[in-house]
């Protein structure tokens, strides 16, 4: 070990204060503790001649008076082709019982993107096969979608279904970032991707519920580092999935409280929102490639006005809101059609037909919402014929956006459904025009051609006999 550069003077949870006695370390540098090889202290900020550090490994046994020294290194994670199909934690250590990857590692705190962004005039739509998403929140390459909802309304299942449907493309590279979620869910996702042969083009990073807030706060930057490498060095188009980005904010808040920083609005530290913005800026498209991001956002106490939820939503191009009321009615995905918004739903991006249909659907759902209170008092029969028709059409539309998921087939027993955008638009047009909803292509198949000649052959002797 090199010459000691500091002495531990204070221990408070994960926070370790080190009085600098020698060479001053850099911000985010890892410090080594004398006699404890498995302990890493990350320098967070300085207070006079004291470095306030985080105990990343949460190893117990630290004591005041212990000497620390510089490592001249920062937290790094492996990047590159060798990481495909692998699962790592925030420190780049494998979680899949595979061999460590040390061939190419990068610091998670140093963004590598350029400021030369792609021309936004030519936008490419990606189809998810999910009717409500393709219709109300278009999935555009290089943009961000937020899936917002409270506990238990289906954020993780919807995110997993999107991975299943979108990440099948051999050309795409998927990065999955699990922050503060259940270990069971992470294992189920890993097995699902493995069974569907999607895992080979996916890199996964996890810092789950049992991890310390220090590790949970570092998972998203670690995954962003991997995405930046594939985007900038290999020119790949990346699908970046985060479940759950609110847990990243929550972990940063826990650390701020632990370090004694003064909270502001809603109990969140101001540093939390600057760190969040810094992360979102890394998930951008450059002249080399794109990063298309889907981020699940937990709503504490189902409160959409929560400052952290608002801060995250403002940085999304589309916000898909999941409602507990809709979920309790048995509709899946449980999307609130009125609160869901998208800045990408324009004629230039989705076309005039899609744009006009979206406007009509939003108007009729708004009318349905206002008529519900009237019907509760006077009954549906008291409505005018036009209002009654709109009310019935709105109910059909709400039911139409319900869909069975492929990733939930083992639970529901129902096969997953995939709808093209054309099928979705045609179905909505049929409902609005009072026609029967068109069936999917596979449902419209005529009887097999070989059956017809057999029937004809059997009929011929009868016809001759009759003659």
Q: Left (φ > 0), alpha (ψ -120 to 50) or beta: where does 231 sit?
A: alpha
**Among this protein's residues, is 155 annotated catalytic?**
yes
Name every residue whose Cβ is closer than 8 Å to that of residue 378 and which is 6 or more positions away in sequence.
Answer: none
Name the catalytic one among 131, 143, 155, 282.
Answer: 155
| DSSP labels, 134-148 | HHHS-EETT-EEEEE
Strands (DSSP E) along 330-407, which ranges?
341-342
Q: Which residue out of 12, 182, 277, 278 is catalytically annotated?
A: 182
Pair 333, 165: CB distance under 8 Å: no
User: Angle of helix 385-400 relative to helix 421-432, nearest 10 degrees?
Assistant: 160
CB 99 within 8 A of CB 86: no
The encoded tokens of residue 201 equal 């083009």
Catalytic residue among 29, 161, 181, 228: 181
**182 flagged as catalytic:** yes
Distance CA 438, CA 419 (A): 12
For residues 215 and 234, give the distance between their C-alpha atoms in angstroms, rounded to a whole number: 28
Q: b or e along 301-334 (b: 16 or more beta carbons within 10 Å of the residue's beta carbon)?
A: eeebebbbbebbbebbbbbbbbbbebbeeebbbb
- HSE of 124, CA atoms in CB hemisphere, 13 A: 11
Give the DSSP per-residue string, 254-313: HHHHHTTPPP-GGG--HHHHHHHHHHHHHS---SS--EEEEEEEE-GGG-TT-HHHHHHH
Angstrom CA distances, 345 to 135, 139, 319, 402, stand at: 9, 10, 12, 21
Catalytic residue status for 181: yes
As a whole number of angstroms, the distance between CA 318 and CA 147 comes to 9
Instruction: Tell me how far apart the alpha carbons of residues 349 and 376 are, in angstroms, rounded to a whole number.
Output: 40
CA distance 281 to 400: 36
Helix (H, G, I), strand (E, B) or coil at 41: strand
Catalytic annotation, residues: 155, 181-182
């Amino acid at each position: 070990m090199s010459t000691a550069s500091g002495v531990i003077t204070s221990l408070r949870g994960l926070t370790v204060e080190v009085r600098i006695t020698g060479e001053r370390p850099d911000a985010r540098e890892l410090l080594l503790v004398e006699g404890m090889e498995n302990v890493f202290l990350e320098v967070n900020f300085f207070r006079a001649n004291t470095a306030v550090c985080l105990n990343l490994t949460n190893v117990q046994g630290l004591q005041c008076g212990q000497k620390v020294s510089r490592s001249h290194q920062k937290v790094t994670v492996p990047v590159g082709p060798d990481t495909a199909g692998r699962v790592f934690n925030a420190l780049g250590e494998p979680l899949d019982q595979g061999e460590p990857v040390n061939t190419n590692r990068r610091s998670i705190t140093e963004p590598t993107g350029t400021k030369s962004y792609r021309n936004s005039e030519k936008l490419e739509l990606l189809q998810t096969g999910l009717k409500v998403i393709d219709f109300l929140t278009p999935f555009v390459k290089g943009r961000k979608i937020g899936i917002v909802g409270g506990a238990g309304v289906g954020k993780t299942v919807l995110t997993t279904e999107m991975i299943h449907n979108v990440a099948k493309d051999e050309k795409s590279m998927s990065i999955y970032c699990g922050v503060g979620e259940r270990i069971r869910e992470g294992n189920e996702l890993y097995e699902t991707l493995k069974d569907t042969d999607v895992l080979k083009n996916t890199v996964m990073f996890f810092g789950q519920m049992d991890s310390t807030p220090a590790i949970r706060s570092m998972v998203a930057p670690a995954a962003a580092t991997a995405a930046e490498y594939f985007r900038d060095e290999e020119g790949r188009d990346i699908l970046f999935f985060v479940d759950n980005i609110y847990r990243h904010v929550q972990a940063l808040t826990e650390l701020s409280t632990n370090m004694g920083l003064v909270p502001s609005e809603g109990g969140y530290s101001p540093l939390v929102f600057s760190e969040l913005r810094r992360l979102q800026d890394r998930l951008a498209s450059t002249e080399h490639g794109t990063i298309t991001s889907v981020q699940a956002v937990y709503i504490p106490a189902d409160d959409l006005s929560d400052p952290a939820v608002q801060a995250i939503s403002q940085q999304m191009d589309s916000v898909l809101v999941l409602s507990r009321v809709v979920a309790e009615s048995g509709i899946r995905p449980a999307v609130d059609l009125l609160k869901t918004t998208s800045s990408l739903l324009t004629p230039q991006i989705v076309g005039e037909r899609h744009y006009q249909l979206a406007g009509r659907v939003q108007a009729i759902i708004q009318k349905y919402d206002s008529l519900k209170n009237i019907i509760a008092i006077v009954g549906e029969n008291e409505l005018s014929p036009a209002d009654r028709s709109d009310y019935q059409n709105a109910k059909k539309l709400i039911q139409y956006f319900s869909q069975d998921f492929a990733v939930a087939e083992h639970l529901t027993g129902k096969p997953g459904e995939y709808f093209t955008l054309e099928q979705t638009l045609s179905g909505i047009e049929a409902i609005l025009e009072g026609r029967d909803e068109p069936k999917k292509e596979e449902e419209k198949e005529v009887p097999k051609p070989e059956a017809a000649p057999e029937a004809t052959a059997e009929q011929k002797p009868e016809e001759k006999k009759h003659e």
